[in-house]
Amino acid sequence: MALVTPLSAEHDLETKKLAEFFNETLGFCPNSVLTMQRRPAISQAFINLNKAVMENNGRVTSALKRMIAWVSSNATGCRYCQAHAIRAAERYGAEQEQLDHIWDYKTHAAFSDAERAALDFSLAASIIPNAVDQNIKKELYKYWDEGEIVEMLGVISLFGYLNRWNDSMGTTLEEDAIESGKKYLGTHGFEIGKHQK
């Protein structure tokens, strides 16, 4: 049960306009944004940050960014963000084999060494205490430049905010996100948990 009730998409027209971004990424405006708009400055700033972080600037693809988000959300345990991240990864062209084996990214052949380095970075940066160390740095620098590392940490940090927001709020999961969660994560124990209506 949600801590705070989401408002109508019509509540703040500027948020509604900015939230059109999510029609592409998820196919709907997330309940988290509909809750944030109780303070429109927060919802508007969040959407603009999300757009900047998720912008594709090159080799850190949109699909990889969403897989980074999933690893981060899995590490923190936020079911809401896990379902959203895997759904967005699918919509942004992640390979079917990667979606089916995201839990096994460390060993599965569907993931390149460069992707593993990025996903290991996401895991290390998302746990408490933070585990980013010299080994993580060394692996990152084998495959990625500093701008790309900044992009990755932008995703990890954005989802740090979202994981805390949605798990604390108990944000209700949308039907489409539930479907994606069950499809790709169900065999590994995905549950809606506190994110039910």
Phi-psi region of 53 (alpha: psi -120 to 50; beta: other; left: phi over 0): alpha
**Residue length, the chain?**
197
pLDDT in tens, 136-165: 999 999 999 999 999 999 999 999 999 999
Give the pLDDT of residue 150. 98
**In angstroms, how far is CA 168 from the centroid of its own chain?**
16
The CATH code that applies to domain 60-195 is 1.20.1290.10
Give the pLDDT of residue 66. 97
pLDDT at 118 over 80: yes
Give the pLDDT of residue 107. 97
Judged by average pLDDT, the poorest of 108-117, 159-168, 176-185 is 176-185
pLDDT at 34 over 90: yes
Please list, in sequence order, all residues whose beta carbon lies within 8 angstroms of the beta carbon of residue 144, skipping any fewer than 6 positions away. Answer: 59, 60, 114, 117, 118, 152
In angstroms, the CA 27 to CA 25 distance is 6
- Which residue type does 31 have? N
Q: 192 versus 67: which is more confidently predicted?
A: 67
Give the pLDDT of residue 149. 98
* Mean pLDDT score of the chain: 95
Domain locations in the chain? 60-195
